[in-house]
Amino acid sequence: MGNVIKWSISKESSYDLVMIYRSDEREETYNLIKTQDISDNSYFDVNGGSNDWYKVRFQDSTTGVYSQYSSSIAGGKFSGYCNVDDIRNFSSKMTSNTISDSVLFELIKIATAQINQDILVEYRDENVLYIDVDKKNTIDGINKTFYVKNLYLADYNDDGIIDENDIYVFSKNSLGVRTEYVVDEIDDVRHGQFTLTTAPNSNEELYITYRSSPVLLYPKVNMNVRNAAINYVLALAHMRLDPNQMRSFRVNKVSVTGDSSPSKAYMEKYTNYISKINSKLIREQKVNNIVWY
């Protein structure tokens, strides 16, 4: 299966290297398995399993200064709308002998970005204003908790995770001075709630950029989205495995190859799932804050 380890660090940091450590027990010794450039933002441990544990720490290679170790991270977590086991369980042809975990992981990343393009809506520089009595969005120099207007909060940077890196926040004061704010945490994807590290002052107007989804993607991935991801990955995987049997064809905006090939069939299934997700019917099934799937 493999495990994906991700990290983020402030732009002001001087760290340029990251070290990933693994252990088969949470409280046992952690062994270094990889040192790499910090800008990669992720590491795929192809040999990792659901029972493994990880820690990371950073280093400034110029000064030799190290950060503290991170908290323990449980294995078995995977970014994206499906995982390697989903693909292998769905198709008997997707064995480890025909296509590796690392290749499937890269295809899942491609599928995640494509799905985001096909179903998510981007809102740029939305003015943070009063929404309702439960979402007042008060700007008073004390309050740090705010809400987006358009639900549900979704993945903005195409990494398959909905976290603090998926909302960009800035303010302008009465003099027009712009200040960027750091999101500390996304508290509730369903209600669009997030918290800043510092509170904006009362003389500022707050603006946010983010994406919304017609269906809930976290903490549990909507089944139509999961199935769309699986079929997209299978379409790409079959193109990789059977390149000589392909002919040119097109499904919506996606140009692929094949005629009666498995790739075409999987891509058509993908398109059907995307249409279902984006349908007006699903959007209208939001009643009293309950979503019916």
What is the three-state SS of the chain? CCEEEECCCCCCCCCCEEEEEEECCCCCCCEEEEEEEHHHCEEEECCCCCCCEEEEEEEECCCCEECCCCCCEECCCCCCCCCHHHHHHHCCCCCCCCCCHHHHHHHHHHHHHHHHHHHCEEEEEEECCCCECCECCCCCCCCCEEECCCCCECCCCCCCCCCHHHCEEEEEECCCCEEEECEEEEEECCCCEEEECCCCCCCEEEEEEEEECCCCCCCCCCHHHHHHHHHHHHHHHHHHHCHHHCCEEEECCEEEECCCCHHHHHHHHHHHHHHHHHCHHHHCCEECCEECC
pLDDT band at 80 (very low <50, low <70, confident <90, very high): confident
Tell me the β-bridge partners of 179.
171
pLDDT of residue 254: 54
pLDDT of residue 6: 76
Q: Give exposure, 134-173, as e/b (b: 16+ Cβ within 10 Å).
A: ebebebeeeeebbbbbebbbbbbebbbbbbbbbbbbbbee
pLDDT band at 293 (very low <50, low <70, confident <90, very high): very low
CB-CB neighbours of 102 under 10 Å: 13
Domain residue spans of the chain? 3-74, 84-118+219-284, 121-212
Query: Does the pLDDT value for residue 151 go beyond 60?
Result: yes
CATH 2.60.40.10 holds for 3-74: yes
Q: Can you tell me the mean pLDDT for 29-50?
A: 85
pLDDT band at 280 (very low <50, low <70, confident <90, very high): low
What's the pLDDT tens digit per position in 105-124?
889 989 999 999 999 999 99
Q: Can you tell me the mean pLDDT for 66-85?
A: 78
Positive or negative: CA dihedral 227, 228, 233, 236: positive
Whether pTM > 0.85 for this model: the answer is no
Chain-wide mean pLDDT for the chain? Answer: 85
| Residue with token string 């269906």 | 215
pLDDT band at 249 (very low <50, low <70, confident <90, very high): very low
Q: Is 78 or 30 the better-scoring residue by pLDDT?
A: 30
Query: Does the pLDDT value for residue 129 go beyond 70?
Result: yes
Query: Does the pLDDT value for residue 210 go beyond 60?
Result: yes
- Nearest-angstrom CA–CA distance, 220 and 81: 9
pLDDT of residue 282: 52
Percent of the chain with pLDDT over 70: 86
Query: Does the pLDDT value for residue 253 go beyond 60?
Result: no
Query: Does the pLDDT value for residue 259 go beyond 50?
Result: no
